[in-house]
């Protein structure tokens, strides 16, 4: 696997492969993609990214967001992202107040009416 991983741009040794298998290597999307390609070549069949995400537990996305591993598997499989937690009305109001013109342009570009959709219920 290490030899094949190097072919896909991952400068891995057999120890690094073991670290990846045991969750000690950060699994950014480019790493997952290259690892799936390398593993598929090594075993002789295509590998779906979701196959690299077995088990239970959670994944820390960033300092403010940790999600169940099952939600990450679902997202990688093409399912829409589920809402993870719901900000309080006070926090949501503060976030809305921070929206700038660039934020509103992005919201509009994806077909959402930012001023209506971002108001708390």
pLDDT in tens, 56-93: 888 888 787 888 888 888 888 888 876 665 656 666 66
Residues 61 and 102 grouped into a single domain: no
Residues 43 and 68 grouped into a single domain: no
CA distances from 81 to 92, 118, 119 (A): 19, 17, 20
Range of the structural domain that residue 12 is part of: 2-52
Question: Tell me, what's the pLDDT at 91?
Answer: 67
What percent of the chain shows pLDDT beyond 90? 21
Partners of 66 in beta bridges: 60
Residues 30 and 68 grouped into a single domain: no
Q: What is the pTM of this model?
A: 0.60
CA pair distance 24, 28, nearest whole angstrom: 12
For the chain, helix (H) and strand (E) counts, in that order, are 7, 2
Q: Please, are residues 89 and 61 in contact by the beta-carbon 8 Å criterion?
A: no
Number of structural domains, the chain? 3
Return the DSSP state at 81. Answer: P
Residues 77 and 90 grouped into a single domain: no
**Length of the chain counted residue by residue:** 121
Backbone angles phi, psi at 12, to 5 degrees: -100, 145
Question: Tell me, what's the pLDDT at 95?
Answer: 73
Partners of 59 in beta bridges: 67
What percent of the chain shows pLDDT beyond 70? 82
Residues 6 and 48 grouped into a single domain: yes
Residues 17 and 43 grouped into a single domain: yes
In sequence order, which residues have a C-beta less than 8 Å from that of residue 46 and are 6 or more positions away?
40
CA pair distance 80, 92, nearest whole angstrom: 22
**Rounded average pLDDT over 52-56:** 87
Residues 70 and 81 grouped into a single domain: yes
């Amino acid at each position: 696997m290490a030899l094949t991983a190097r072919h896909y741009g991952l400068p891995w040794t057999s120890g690094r492969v073991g670290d990846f298998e045991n969750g000690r290597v950060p699994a950014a999307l480019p790493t997952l993609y290259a690892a799936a390609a390398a593993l598929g070549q090594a075993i002789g069949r295509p590998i779906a990214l979701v196959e690299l995400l077995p088990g239970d537990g959670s994944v820390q996305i960033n300092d403010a967001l940790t999600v169940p591993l099952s939600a990450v598997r679902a997202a990688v499989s093409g399912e829409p992202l589920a809402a993870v937690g719901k900000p309080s009305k006070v926090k949501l109001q503060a976030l809305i107040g921070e929206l700038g013109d660039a934020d509103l342009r992005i919201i509009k570009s994806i077909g959402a009416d930012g001023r209506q959709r971002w108001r708390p219920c």
